[in-house]
Amino acid sequence: MVSRAERGPLADWFWTIDRFFLAMFIFLMGIGFMLSFAASPAVAERIGLEPFHFVKRHAAFMIPSIGVMLGLSFLTPRQVRRTAILILIISVAMMVLVLFVGQEVKGGRRWIWIAGLSIQPSEFMKPAFVVVCAWLFAEHARQPEIPGNLFAIILFGIVAALLVAQPDLGQTILTTAVWGGMFFMAGMPWIWIMLLGIGGAGGLLGAYYVFPHVALRIDKFMTGEGDTFQIDTAREAIIRGSWFGQGPGEGIVKRIIPDAHTDFIFSVAAEEFGIVFCMALVALFTVLVLRGLSHAYRERNDFNRFAVAGLVLQMGIQSIINIGVNLELLPAKGMTLPLISYGGSSMVAICVTAGFILALTRHRPEKRAQDRSLFRVPHGMPAE
């Protein structure tokens, strides 16, 4: 245990970090690792790999991911902003590059091979984009003559265009929803809210007519006709699990779901551990988001408020999309469950998000002292 009397980076970090957030992030990653034992061996055997191939890779990805999260949690808000700008520049450049030399999987170019690793740049773009937009919104709120909102709109247009070009409609919707929420918190006029809503509806309608795979998924969702194998199988797994599940390792539906260890890990959890377990998992994500929004509500610094709210909204909306697809409440879309699903880029990137949240929610005594000094009566002046 670190004493409060100690001084130094580690002691300061220990006593200022939001330990609830830290415990929640590590606990959710632990649940994900546990579920990888349930979901991934069947997938590995089906494609001719040794049973614990994905379990070992999951563990290998967890170690650097936790290191990234803890390392970023030491940063000051200014350092978070600078780090996010650097990550955003690199990830956007890689998103442009991936359109030309990226690996095509299921009709989309979203991955690029670097040093033998398959990297999805858009995953790293998301937390950096949120932080940079929070800074732009905050600068406009602090000095209205600075066109921060305009720059945020331009940046959003660039990112959305690159996501559509891949194409990745799910990430486009996620990014748009988070950006719109932050813009709303930044005091967007009602006319902008209406225009954003019309633009979003128009974008979805355009995607339906421009991208055949989008139209196919929406049609299958609305009519129930066509190849709905994965969704139907996921629903069957949830039904089989009932309230308390079939027991660890007793699930059978996971053997035929192609993405059981990534997009449909929630269904695997439902079959083996039951609906009660899944309800508890949903409750954990809900508490995580609500705690972040509560912190943002109390925060006086505009940048911290917008950034924390945007980052927890990103995690929350991504969780809603993943779980909604598993429950057949949303059209099929490949998107991982944060901190739970298997994945290299997604796991490291979500830990970047977690690290930013931990850094921005630290209790900083020097900041509180400065806030109190704003209301202190100067020496020699009578109090009113």
Task: List pLDDT tens digits, range 64-87.
Answer: 999 999 999 999 999 999 999 999
- Give the pLDDT mean for 246-271: 81
Average pLDDT over residues 159-166: 90
Q: Which of 267, 273, 95, 255 is nearest to 175 (CA)?
A: 95
Q: How much is the pLDDT for 373? A: 41
Whether the pLDDT of residue 384 is over 70: the answer is: no
pLDDT of 382: 44
Provide φ and ψ at 5, rounded to 5°.
Answer: -75, -20
For the ranges 223-232, 238-247, 311-320, the lowest mean pLDDT is seen at 223-232
Backbone phi, psi, residue 345, to 5° = -60, -45
Cα atoms found within 13 Å of the Cα of residue 271, Cβ hemisphere only: 24
- 117-141 mean pLDDT: 92
Q: What is the pLDDT of residue 225?
A: 67
Q: In whole angstroms, how large is the CA radius of gyration of the chain? A: 22
- The answer to whether residue 268 scores a pLDDT higher than 60 is yes
Cα separation, 242 vs 327, whole angstroms: 13
What mean pLDDT, rounded, does the chain reach?
84
Residue 378 CB neighbours (<10 A): 5
Token pair, residue 166, equals 């891949």
Give me the pLDDT at residue 315, please.
95
Q: Flag whether pLDDT at 375 surpasses 60.
A: no
Strand 117-119's sheet: what is its strand order?
103-105, 108-114, 117-119
Q: Which pLDDT score, from 0 to 100, does residue 107 have?
A: 63
Whether 338 shows a pLDDT value over 60: the answer reads yes
Report whether 259 contacts 237 (CB < 8 A).
no
Q: CA nearest 315: which of 360, 265, 271, 356?
A: 356
Q: Look at residue 376 in the predicted model and tell me its pLDDT.
A: 45
* Length of the chain counted residue by residue: 384
Least confident among 91-95, 258-262, 314-318: 258-262
Pick from 28, 127, 32, 68: which is nearest to 343 by CA? 32
Query: Residue 226: is its pLDDT beyond 50?
Result: yes
CA distances (Å), origin 66, targets 57, 83, 88, 121, 339: 14, 17, 21, 19, 11
Q: What band does 88 get if pLDDT is binned at 50, 70 and 90?
A: very high
Q: Tell me the mean pLDDT in the region 17-25.
A: 93
Which of 37-41, 76-80, 208-212, 267-271 is least confident?
208-212
pLDDT at 357: 96
Question: Is residue 131 predicted with pLDDT exceeding 60?
Answer: yes
Taking Cα atoms as reference points, which of 133, 250, 146 lies closest to residue 185?
A: 133
**pLDDT for res 63:** 92
Q: What percent of the chain has pLDDT over 70?
A: 90
